[in-house]
């Protein structure tokens, strides 16, 4: 999904599940911290609360708005 589509569908602060290392290592429940941006070769990435790196929007699992987020 490109950055414009992601941003049209999901606002900053949307609850998400991300996998900081690999899917086998477990996930973190957090919120998007920035709008998605398009980077090299058409890759769309978004930053989330509590983690420094950006995540490819293809690997961010969107959760319902009322989903409990980890502190």
In percent, the amount of the chain with pLDDT more than 90 equals 75
E runs forming strands in 1-71: 15-18, 28-31, 37-38, 44-47, 54-56, 61-62
pLDDT exceeds cutoff 70 at 71: no
> Domain segments of the chain: what residues?
3-62
- Tell me how far apart the alpha carbons of residues 18 and 57 are, in angstroms, rounded to a whole number: 10
| Whole-prediction pTM | 0.86
């Amino acid at each position: 999904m490109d950055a414009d589509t992601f941003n049209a569908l999901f606002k900053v602060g949307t609850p998400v599940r991300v996998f900081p290392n690999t899917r086998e290592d477990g996930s973190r429940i957090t919120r998007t911290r920035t709008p998605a941006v398009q980077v090299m070769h058409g890759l769309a990435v978004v930053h989330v609360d509590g983690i420094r790196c950006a995540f490819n929007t293809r690997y961010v699992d969107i959760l319902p708005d009322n989903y409990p987020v980890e502190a």
